A and B are shown apart, each in its own frame.
Chain A
Amino acid sequence: MGSRASTLLRDEEIEEIKKETGFSHSQITRLYSRFTSLDKGENGTLSREDFQRIPELAINPLGDRIINAFFPEGEDQVNFRGFMRTLAHFRPIEDNEKSKDQNGPEPLNSRSNKLHFAFRLYDLDKDDKISRDELLQVLRMMVGVNISDEQLGSIADRTIQEADQDGDSAISFAEFVKVLEKVDVEQKMSIRFLH
């Protein structure tokens, strides 16, 4: 299955990705074949349209936001490295990683990075704060249509109130982390990638 993919992917590249993301060799080749199958333009990068062709994403309320998260600031192509870097956020934290990586750079799949990924989906203007407007937008995406704007507004207000500590009517990343401290983010934001 991965034979074609692995011939196209150079070994040293795999090594680098392995180092950076922590994926295993077989996971990388598998994801590479997925990458190439998504890449309809066959130019080694994915565009937004390539992502938008995944049918399930169109019925995911946050689909487009998540697609955007794959693209670095201001770019509209993502290569395999970038693709893997984003996916690496969702790698489960393995037992041996918990102790090992204390002194090295923080791995992409750390709790804080997972949270930051989610935080960035809200924070459109990248000011490291979720404003009421930004929250409202996401809320609107995530709820059914039978809910009135006032209700939604009051929910947004309450949500912010609940998390807000410094009284700026916005949720900073620190506040975001704090309010979710009891949530098992490590587990909720991890998927088992196929080998």
Chain B
Amino acid sequence: MRPVSGVALLLGLMALPAALGQRSSESHKNSNESFAIVSFKWDHVKEPYIIALWILVASLAKIVFHLSHKVTRVVPESALLIVLGLFLGGIVWAADHLASFSLTPTVFFFYLLPPIVLDAGYFMPNRLFFGNLGSILLYAVIGTVWNAATTGLSLYGVYLTGIMGELKSGLLDFLLFGSLIAAVDPVAVLAVFEEVHVNEVLFIIVFGESLLNDAVTVVLYNVFDSFVAIGEANVTGIECLKGIVSFFVVSLGGTLVGIIFAFLLSLVSRFTKHVRIIEPGFVFIISYLSYLTAEMLSLSAILAITFCGICCQKYVKANISEQSSTTVRYTMKMLASGAETIIFMFLGISAVDPEIWTWNTAFILLTLVFISVYRVIGVVIQTWILNRYRTVQLEIIDQVVMSYGGLRGAVAFALVALLDEKKVKERKLFVSTTIIVVFFTVIFQGLTIKPLVQWLKVKKTEHREPKLNEKLHGRAFDHILSAIEDISGQIGHHYLRDKWSNFDRKYLRKILMRRSAQKSRDQILNVFHELNLKDAISYVAEGERRGSLAFIRSPSTDNMVNVDFSTPLPSTVESSVSYLLREKAGPVCLDMQALEQRRKSIRDTEDTLAHHTLQQYLYKPRQEHKHLYSRHEIMHSEDDKQDKEIFHRTMRKRLESFKSTKLGINHSKKLNKIHKRDRGQKRVKILSQGPRCKLIQISNEVAFFSFPLDLEFSESEENNDYETLHLGKGVDFLANVTKQNFTDAPAGKNIYYLQRFFSPLKYNKIFKSENSQEENTLLMFEGLEDSYMKEPQEKKMLLDIEGNYRSAAARRVQSRRSFHRPKPLHHPKLQKLASLPASCHVPPHSLEQEETQL
């Protein structure tokens, strides 16, 4: 029903311009005679209007497709769009027998392709990309050349036998055709791979290959195109040599242009602090300029914009504000997704034009056969070579997916549409063949790749219900393995990476990043840092909720974490098996094997339940759970949540084990007291807002107090052990939170009790420097209880405070009143923290929700 209503709507839209067109010409005649208050000017708006309408149609179509999940799960969206395009094209053609709309190379290369490629570059998982760069380059360069050459030559060979009949083409034409049909298309591949869910290495290899090989294709295409132009007879060795040289110049030049523009973009984004509104615009404009510049210099524009995105992402993301970054993310996704939709739809529409069709069964069929066969052969040979050098092997199933995932797409079509009929006599045949190839690969292979993967996966494993033990311990093995990999530093080229990150830290960051952003480190550390902040807040919040922080300090005897209070409400639904089954049947479940086996085995309910629960809730090992890139989704991934959970636990555990070992055994050097007042010119930043970062302090006995949390971060840049310091920083925060933090505000004197937990190095450094600069600011305490004994006066005062602020509400009010003095916020993450709603006052589960927004 729904498609029908959609079609009706579309028909209406189609008819509209025609009807309007007629009316407008009438109104034009009339308007000559007298001044019209309102005139109807269809011609005036015709072009943008039609474009807007098409975009609207495509977008509406997407809505319609997604109304039914059953359809989109089986049929890839790209295939649906092509069919829709065919259908619409048919209607338009039936209406006026004119194929007025088609995907022109200009539109494609100037407006539709750049956003897609930029999106891919900007959201490229860099680490993985560069980690697999060798493999990607091999597939992209050698693989494409191989495909082009073999397809072209084989077709020519077959042509010589005469099966195809008489064609007005020479060897060069065939090679030209081979080169344009050789490249795997990033648009089509991504569209399908996103739905198949393959492992990250495979994904990045195919994705990277499809991005980079476009450049190779375009170069090959240009070379052969010019060869065809100068004629077969005139192609000499020198010309061939020139072709090879031009390949390197074009690709490396394109990359260079991209990098230069990325540099520019990063630099500009450093200074946009006061023009936040147009900040996102720079990202798009400068990247687009890189594309156009490369095009102007006849270098590879695709490579230029890809590398512009890849190189700038780190700096831009650090420089621009959180809101701008969100804007960029969404806009980019919107543009890319929209462009993709339009491309596929117009591929369909373009096919409806009898003008372009010429049928040659042998040629078309053989092309299909050759591209598939040579793709398989190419993949197998290259993988065989690569596997000798790779740490992570590409297995048979990966090779099948890679071979089968070699979809051709709009790039091939746009290139073939660019051909000049005068030079290439068989242009029509090439166009028709390309369209058939594109349709076949996108629709047929797109449809079948998912079942194929499923079938292979199921096939590969024996049909046996894994025991609970096997499942559980198996997962443990995975975790162990990934930990060992991390410890032994297995992933990738460390030497080069180290060199690069050194260079990056020493020079690039200083030039390209805001001062404030320079401090936030590698992504993972950033995540760390944020997590720490949140963890800290939730401690505080939980403390407030319970009225004490005692839960932190209760040393747990077992090694287990105690209550995880970030836990949302205990799940109420999960005990229903049907719920679990339904859950598992959703697209989230990629463990086809488990599903399959589940279906086949009949077990008692409880056991099934146990299996399901495990299946669903066992943490995934690192390799599996990373979702890399999706054109259609902005990922606040499950993974993040998982990472957070685990991180929370780990930190809590470390905190506890620290406490139980160090607190119990070694009392000295535990608590440090610093007079903040006396710090003077020290480079210690105080980051605090009274009501927000309130920390409740509990003595080990009964009393609890409320004080503003004064966080401090040493920014000592002279510290040469910067790396360590930063690494420790995230952890330190936690320590900071739990440190004994007293303020005798009335007396105007703040005393810190610093407790160092994790990073002795850092604190030692701070304390050393402070010691050297001012003596006596640092007092060591044996412990909190001891501090009471030693300073009875202070104790008395603290108890006074306790008396005053016993109730939570009173505490809050009081702290607002007395501590609400504006203090500079210097740390970017803390600024973020401060921009949260007064989070300390909400129970932890609502905090949890805020985290996702961060």
From B70-78, B103-111, B118-126, B478-486, the one touching the partner chain is B478-486
- Asked whether B646 lies within 8 Å of A140 as measured between CB atoms, the reply is no
Task: For residue B460, give the distance in angstroms from its CB to the closest CB of chain A.
Answer: 12
Given known A-B contacts A56-B622, A155-B610, A182-B470, A146 and B567 have beta carbons under 8 A apart: yes
- Asked whether B469 lies within 8 Å of A147 as measured between CB atoms, the reply is no
Given known A-B contacts A144-B642, A146-B617, A62 and B479 have beta carbons under 8 A apart: yes
Given known A-B contacts A56-B486, A133-B558, A158 and B727 have beta carbons under 8 A apart: no
- Asked whether B488 lies within 8 Å of A34 as measured between CB atoms, the reply is yes
Is A143 in contact with chain B by the CB < 8 A criterion?
yes
Task: For residue B550, give the distance in angstroms from its CB to the closest CB of chain A.
Answer: 21
Partner of A63, one of B567, B645, B650: B650
Task: For residue B233, give the distance in angstroms from its CB to the closest CB of chain A.
Answer: 52
Interface residues of chain B: helix, strand, loop or mixed (majority): helix
- For A140, the closest partner residue in chain B by CB is B560
Given known A-B contacts A141-B649, A155-B610, A124 and B559 have beta carbons under 8 A apart: yes
- Asked whether A142 lies within 8 Å of B489 as measured between CB atoms, the reply is no
- B594-617 interface (Cβ within 8 A of A): 606-607, 610, 613-614, 617
- B560-588 interface (Cβ within 8 A of A): 560-561, 564, 566-568, 570-571, 574-575
Partner of B610, one of A34, A137, A154: A154
Given known A-B contacts A52-B654, A56-B524, A180 and B469 have beta carbons under 8 A apart: yes
Please indicate the chain B residues that have their CB under 8 angstroms from the CB of A124 in the complex.
Answer: 559
Is B506 in contact with chain A by the CB < 8 A criterion?
no
Q: Which residue of A154, A159, A192 has the most chain B CB atoms within 10 A of its CB atom?
A: A159
- A131-184 interface (Cβ within 8 A of B): 133, 136-148, 151, 154-155, 158-159, 162-163, 176, 179-180, 182-183
Please indicate the chain A residues that have their CB under 8 angstroms from the CB of B478 in the complex.
Answer: 188
Is A193 in contact with chain B by the CB < 8 A criterion?
yes
Is A87 in contact with chain B by the CB < 8 A criterion?
yes
Given known A-B contacts A60-B482, A143-B617, A188-B477, A49 and B561 have beta carbons under 8 A apart: no
Q: Considering the chains assembled together, what is the distance between the CA atoms of A33 and B698 in angstroms? A: 45
Is A61 in contact with chain B by the CB < 8 A criterion?
yes
Q: Considering the chains assembled together, what is the distance between the CA atoms of A150 and B436 in angstroms? A: 58
Is B619 in contact with chain A by the CB < 8 A criterion?
yes
Given known A-B contacts A63-B483, A141-B649, A147-B574, A188 and B468 have beta carbons under 8 A apart: no
Q: Considering the chains assembled together, what is the distance between the CA atoms of A142 and B606 in angstroms? A: 20
Partner of A191, one of B470, B484, B759: B484
Partner of B619, one of A56, A142, A151, A155: A142
Is B647 in contact with chain A by the CB < 8 A criterion?
yes
Please indicate the chain B residues that have their CB under 8 angstroms from the CB of A137 in the complex.
Answer: 558-560
Is B264 in contact with chain A by the CB < 8 A criterion?
no
Is B685 in contact with chain A by the CB < 8 A criterion?
no
Q: Interface readout for B643-657 with A: 1 if CB under 8 Å, 0 if not?
A: 101110111011001
Task: For residue B650, give the distance in angstroms from its CB to the closest CB of chain A.
Answer: 5
Q: Considering the chains assembled together, what is the distance between the CA atoms of A112 and B689 in angstroms? A: 57
- Asked whether A162 lies within 8 Å of B486 as measured between CB atoms, the reply is no
Is B8 in contact with chain A by the CB < 8 A criterion?
no
Is B451 in contact with chain A by the CB < 8 A criterion?
no
Q: Interface readout for B740-762 with A: 1 if CB under 8 Å, 0 if not?
A: 00000000000000000011110
Please indicate the chain B residues that have their CB under 8 angstroms from the CB of A154 in the complex.
Answer: 606, 610
Task: For residue A177, give the distance in angstroms from its CB to the closest CB of chain B.
Answer: 11
Is A31 in contact with chain B by the CB < 8 A criterion?
yes
Q: Considering the chains assembled together, what is the distance between the CA atoms of A179 and B728 in angstroms? A: 42
Please indicate the chain A residues that have their CB under 8 angstroms from the CB of B643 in the complex.
Answer: 59
- B442-482 interface (Cβ within 8 A of A): 464, 467-470, 472-482
- Asked whether A193 lies within 8 Å of B490 as measured between CB atoms, the reply is yes
| 28 residue pairs from A and B, CB less than 8 Å apart | A31-B488, A51-B487, A52-B654, A55-B522, A56-B482, A57-B486, A57-B487, A58-B646, A59-B622, A61-B479, A61-B649, A66-B484, A87-B484, A90-B481, A90-B484, A121-B476, A137-B558, A137-B560, A140-B561, A144-B617, A146-B567, A146-B568, A151-B574, A151-B610, A182-B470, A193-B488, A193-B490, A194-B490
- Known interface pairs A61-B646, A142-B479; 4 further A-B residue pairs with C-beta atoms within 8 A, sorted by A's residue number: A55-B528, A62-B483, A118-B480, A148-B570
B residues with CB within 8 A of A? 391-393, 464, 467-470, 472-490, 494-495, 522, 524-525, 528, 558-561, 564, 566-568, 570-571, 574-575, 606-607, 610, 613-614, 617-619, 622, 642-643, 645-647, 649-651, 653-654, 657, 724, 727-728, 731, 758-761
A residues with CB within 8 A of B? 1, 31, 34, 37-38, 40, 49, 51-64, 66, 70, 87, 90, 117-118, 121, 124, 133, 136-148, 151, 154-155, 158-159, 162-163, 176, 179-180, 182-183, 185, 188-194
